[in-house]
Amino acid sequence: MSGSQIFKQPFPAEILFSFLDSNAAKSGKYYLFSSASFKKGMFNGSIIDFIEKCKSYYHISKHSYLERKLTYSGFNTIIRQICKFNKITYTSKIVYDKSTYNIEYYIYY
């Protein structure tokens, strides 16, 4: 075990990529996860399923990440933790639209 503060056992990247396959836009080398992807996942229930799968990998003391009110930015925190743990490269970009901003994540596979 890598001595992770968040994960009690290795988190399989396949769980993340399977989730992204069904919710994020996929291009040649990355997934684009945006607020539209989050809304799609909430609508089809896959975000709730994904969170449930994550629970067995997180330390009990870190379940607060998984159990707090689900927001786009809170969910992105979970995705970033998984990417960082698995050394999956990601970048983010702030996108302004109708005087609000959102952060889009580009997760490379």
Q: Is residue 5 part of a domain?
A: no
Q: What is the pLDDT of residue 3?
A: 60
Q: Is residue 37 part of a domain?
A: yes
Residue 93's domain spans which residues?
Answer: 13-108
Q: Is residue 3 part of a domain?
A: no
Q: What is the pLDDT of residue 92?
A: 97
Quick one: CA torsion of 43, 44, 46, 52, rounded to 10 degrees?
Answer: 70
Q: Is residue 1 part of a domain?
A: no
| Pairwise CA distance, residues 103 & 93, whole Å | 6
Q: What is the pLDDT of residue 70?
A: 93
Q: Is 81 helix (H, G, I), strand (E, B) or coil?
A: helix
Q: What is the full per-residue pLDDT of the chain (109 aa) written as tens digits?
A: 456 899 999 999 999 999 999 999 999 999 999 999 999 999 999 999 999 999 999 999 999 999 999 999 999 999 999 999 999 999 999 999 888 898 999 999 9
Q: Is residue 59 part of a domain?
A: yes
| Pairwise CA distance, residues 109 & 105, whole Å | 13
